[in-house]
Structure 1
Amino acid sequence: LLAEIGHLAQERVAATAVRLTHSNAPLVGPLDPQAVGPEAVRALQAVLDAAQAALADERERVDAAARAAMRGATSRIQTLLYQIQSLVQQLQHENDDPRLLEVDFRNEVALRRIQTVAVLCEAWPGLARTDSPLAEVVVGALSRVPGYARIKVANHLREQHLAVVARAAEPIAVTLAELLANATAYSHPETDVPVTVQQGGRGALVIIDDSGIGMDEDQLRRARRLLAGPPDMLLTELGNPPKTGFAVIGKLARQYGFSCHIEPSPYGGMRTILRIPAALVTVVDDERPLSVLTPLPLRGGAGPAPAPTVAAVP
């Protein structure tokens, strides 16, 4: 029994702690359950169960404290970035300097990145919108992504003024920016990233393809779990440094009622499909002018992944 207690302290408690964060880690059992008998085995297991419960509670407490601290920091940083954005826009009206466009773009990228942290920490995404045409939301997402010139948008909407309802417009813009950032970051810089916007029988779809290195089965399984928005996801599960993109999308999808699926792409990399249900779409007034950067609808067949045709450059 003393040997079993020593084994518990030296091996089994540590293995149980590892298994909290790595579900595939091996379990470590008793040295000789027959020798100590079933009552001792149950008592040793009770110690392990109590240790595991205490560890899980402590992880959640530490994670909640980290979220609260980060939420406060991101709020202040967001405020500063919005102030910079406003100032840069004023300077653009007063000065014809192309460098201001670059400053504005870099500020947009910084805002996107701080938004993702804010969302992970249970904060509001950061912008209030009106009902927004879906094609404009897609174009707006491009302006937050490095390598946006590689993104080619094919607009297959039957209704040009199909829009995302106000409460979901910014969450969907954040989601699209994260998906597009992944597609450009994980594919060769000389390849295009085709994006298809199409209208389904109910709702709408945005399909993003890349020709990157793809994912193995474990990576794909983990990505799908994060995109499903698991309620028990902790910051410590996102790696070091943390990879926040899919976790942010999953959290927004669960909160606002849309969904995102990932699968291998016919282009060789990955395909992500953003499904926007009928409850989150509407049609805005036809008299409202669309942005001049919005890709016009393409007439004809709307396949799931057409050849890139329209470049939308913010």
Structure 2
Amino acid sequence: MEQFLLAAAFVLVAGAGIAAAVLLVRQRRVAAELRRQNAVLAHGLDLREKELRHLADVRLPELMESLTNPAVRVAGPLHDLDREAPAFEQALQTVMDLFAGSAARVRERADRSAKSTLRAMMRAVQSLANEQQLAISHMQERHDDPDVLEGLLRVDHMNAQIGRRAQATAVLCGSWPGQQRSASSLTDVVRGATSRIRDYLRVNLEGSPSSAVTSRAVEPVVLTLAELLDNAARHSRPDTTVEVNFRSVHNGVAITIDDAGVAMDADELQHASELLSGEVSVDIHRLGDPPRVGFAVAGVLAARYGFRVSVDSHSPYGGVRAVVFLPSALLTTVPDERGPARAVPARAAENTAPADGTSTASGLPKRNRVAVAEPPAAPDGDEEPGAPDTGERPPARPARETAAGLGAWQRGTRSGRARTPPDAGGPGAESKDLRP
């Protein structure tokens, strides 16, 4: 009996030991699994914390920057979330998409607001510049003093540059160029663009094509050429020239502008090509300080009016070559014959035939009085009609008489540009001033 009890007790003790051992092993396994799960959870929490910090500090700012600068690359996640936390990766991408959409809408609203404000301001500036131009023109008609006229020509030239800046800004903000002109020859178009830049004396125009630009495209092409000529002059040495040439092709005319400045690198050429294509929206907040609007304005006008503008570093003078291609649809015949090309500083000279003249001491062109043949003097006792020229020059005209002639020439030019109705020969006929 005792042996049976001992055997039973041994069995019970052994069973309890086995059960205890099983429970201990199981507990250890559970503890190990819990430790593993805790480690996974801790790693996941640390991963998410790092990814959220990376999202706020790096990825979202880069995403904001990439909305306006496609060259900026947005960084990806720090970890392989596709393997470690696919759901969290999807949540982060949703946040990125929502942020990008919101930022784009905010930037678009801000851009529209800024452009609307600038457009209204530039319209006011353009209006004032036009009124000032009329005042300058009237003063040029009234004053014959050479010094006064020289000062007026200088003011006229500066006013033309102010008007061009306001005009370019208005175009970038969605406005139209602001002037409507009659069809003009290509030489007159280039001459008009030259008159709106500071370094107009450095522009050398070669050739005189027989084509003209249609009325609707004259002002856009003039403004485009003015911006390209200004860029060429500003980015080249002041003792070099800016060469302008024409090349006729089967479907249009190409106007080439070559400067002797520093060539553009590959990145600059790529950025310029994007702006000149007119296919990208121009962010006026990212035009630099001071703003660089030349290529942007040219691209907007080219896309709007149907011509093309390109730049490359193949200028024969080592600088940059800009090409404005005008298709046949924008060309017509020359409305009238013009003289040789000459740079003039005043916008009032854009629509007039060129006149012979010199540069004043300050560099501004000054038109000379048109020579008028005078009847020969009556012979006296010491001189007979038709006597040979002795080589002596007549005395110089007084300054006041020369100034009066210059003023008369200007008034005649204004009158010649006016349109006379069919019954102009009748009494009381009046002419209408068609100046822009």
- The two structures have a TM-score, normalised by structure 1, of 0.88
1:246 to 292, 295, 300: 295
In structure 2, the partner of 1:11 is 58
Show the 5 A alignment for 1:95-244: 95-96=143-144, 97=148, 98-157=150-209, 159=210, 162-244=211-293
d(CA) in 1 for partners of 2:51 and 2:125? 53
Distance 2:78 2:266 in 1: 34
Determine the structure 2 residue equivalent to 1:302: none
1:21 positional shift? 2.8
- Identity over aligned pairs, percent: 38
List gaps (5 residues or longer) in structure 1: 296-310
**Aligned residue type for 1:21:** T
SS in 2 for 1:21: coil
Give the CA deviation at 1:87.
0.7
Where does residue 70 of structure 1 map in the other structure?
118
Distance in 2, Cα, partners of 1:36 & 1:8: 17
Letter in 2 for 1:251: V
Shift of 1:99: 0.7
**What is the rounded CA distance, in whole Å, between the counterparts of 1:183 and 1:37 in structure 2?**
56
- Shift of residue 22, structure 1, vs aligned partner: 3.0
Indicate the SS of the match to 1:260: strand
Q: Which moved more, 1:94-103 or 1:246-255?
A: 94-103
Runs of 4+ in 1 over 6 A off after TM superposition: 311-314
Report how many aligned residue pairs link the two structures. Answer: 293
Is the 1:135–1:197 Cα contact (8 Å) retained in structure 2? no
Contact 2:274/2:280 (CA < 8 Å) preserved in 1?
no
Q: Any idea what the Cα deviations from partners look like across 1:73-126, whole Å, max 9, x if unmatched?
A: 000110000010011011111113211100000000111111100100111111
Equivalent pair of 1:205/1:275 in contact (CA under 8 Å): yes
1:288-299 mapped onto 2 (5 Å cutoff): 288-290=336-338, 292=339, 294=341
Give the stretch that moved more between structures: 225-234 or 169-178. Answer: 225-234
Specify whether residues 31 and 202 from structure 1 end up closer, same or farther in structure 2 by C-alpha distance, changes over 3 A only: closer
Read off the aligned partner of 1:62 and give its amino acid letter: A
- SS of aligned partner of 2:67: helix
1:298 corresponds to which residue? none
Counterpart among 332, 345, 349 of residue 282 in structure 1? 332
CA contact (8 A) 1:17 1:55 kept: yes
Work out the CA distance in 2 between the residues paired with 1:15 and 1:203. Answer: 44
For 1:243 and 1:153, locate their aligned partners in 2 and report how far apart those are by CA, in whole Å. 25
Deviation at 1:61, TM superposition (A): 0.8
| Structure with higher RCO (Cα < 8 A, 6+ apart) | 1
Q: Deviations over 1:197-217 (max 9, x none)?
A: 232222211110000011111
Q: Secondary structure at the match of 1:189?
A: coil
Task: Give how far 1:156 is off.
Answer: 4.6
1:24 aligns with 2:71: yes
**Aligned equivalents of 1:118 and 1:209: distance in 2?**
27
Between the aligned partners of 1:139 and 1:10, the Cα distance in structure 2 is: 53
Which protein shows a greater Rg?
A: 2
Counterparts in 2 of 1:199 and 1:11: CA distance versus 1, 3 Å: closer
TM-score, L = length of structure 2:
0.64
Query: Residue 289 of structure 1: CA displacement?
Result: 4.4
Matched to 2:204, the amino acid is K
